[in-house]
A and B are shown apart, each in its own frame.
With several copies, the nearest count.
Chain A
């Protein structure tokens, strides 16, 4: 697992352990009651899932890259993004440091490779 792939965090054992509580919280969002409970009191909900300091700070910052660094996995984080009303292009733009328009253009450009 020592392989480096540019701009990509491999979600392997180390990340899976690091992010366990954060991803577990996100997994709970499959249940609408839990989404409501999270929105009603985020701090209490994060307490319940024993999020680490790094995970809480990542969530507070709103930075997806920080959430990934804190062990978040794309498939579970997507459920959090849904709650926060972020689409995949908002998230793509944020992570690549582009405007949403520029990010969409980047996608289109790849059709012409």
Chain B
């Protein structure tokens, strides 16, 4: 059976892609963020995940307002990195894991979710930046399954719905009969706002609450509505929903292996957090 080995959550700020392209990792502005990655990469080299399931938000590359999904699950053999319109370098295409995609789609529809099923999907910096941070040589040793959460057009799915989605996805992954190691990624945030008179808003206290909840369990965050999250984390801080879903997919005992929180990159409170899944629920029960 497939096994969820952990959740890696990270900011995906576009500027990260440019900093990588320009080799700025050791500049004082960038060092605090990039320094979080060697330990993550050591863990990856040791644990060797086979598949990465990404909870992320599309930034107007793959979806438009003509048909805006609430949740969309990729079921492609390959995901293509495409031009987003403002100069982030594209990366080599990433192989998909369609069998797991359909396992997840079947599982979550059974559990009362209404996903869009995607057989063609271009991926943006929310996928490409984390991949490059994990595997700087751009030789992907993993396949991926992208799960997009609407963060653009309200009504957004709120923390409770995203938590439930994560639960259902985790259940589907654990029921997948392949002997594969699955890493979850929550891509986005943390607090930031690009638009309006409140542009530049960051909320360190709320981010800290979320980072703590990622360790102890994100269920308490489900008391917030999507609009509460806009207020607390900023208009684009709603990307936090991806962290909630990724964490909710992992039940049982977890251990925090790494955490970085740094203000700012661009207009954003950046964060990287790695949680290992030390014992699945079933194992814990059996013990």
Contacts and interface: CB of A to CB of B under 8 A. Distances in A.
A102 B64 CA distance: 34
Interface in B27-86: 59-61, 64-66, 75, 77, 82-86
B227 A96 contact: no
Contacts of A68: 195-196
Contact of B230 (A8, A64, A73): A8
Contacts of B197: 6-8, 65, 95-96
A20 to B, nearest CB: 6
A88 B75 contact: no
Given A77-B195, A113-B204, A113-B205, A88 B105 contact: no
A88 to B, nearest CB: 5
Interface in A28-44: 29-32, 35
Which of B83, B106, B194, B205 has its CB near the most chain A CB atoms (within 10 A)?
Answer: B194
A71 B6 CA distance: 36
Interface stretch (B172-180, B260-268, B275-283): B260-268
A110 interface: yes
Interface in A1-27: 1, 3, 5-14, 16-17, 20, 23-24, 26-27
A68 B197 CA distance: 11
Contacts of B203: 110
25 contacts: A3-B227, A5-B231, A7-B197, A8-B195, A8-B196, A8-B235, A9-B196, A11-B152, A11-B153, A24-B65, A30-B82, A30-B85, A64-B195, A74-B194, A79-B84, A79-B85, A83-B85, A88-B15, A89-B266, A92-B194, A92-B200, A92-B267, A96-B198, A111-B262, A113-B205
A78 B153 contact: no
Interface of A: 1, 3, 5-14, 16-17, 20, 23-24, 26-27, 29-32, 35, 64-65, 68, 73-79, 81-83, 87-89, 91-92, 95-96, 103, 106-108, 110-111, 113
Contact of A16 (B65, B85, B196): B65
B193 interface: yes
Given A7-B197, A16-B65, A27-B60, A83 B86 contact: yes
Interface of B: 15, 59-61, 64-66, 75, 77, 82-87, 98, 101-102, 105-106, 117, 119, 151-155, 193-205, 227, 230-231, 235-236, 262-264, 266-267, 269
Which of A65, A87, A111 has its CB near the most chain B CB atoms (within 10 A)?
Answer: A111
Contacts of B77: 17
B263 A111 contact: yes
Contacts of B154: 1, 10-13
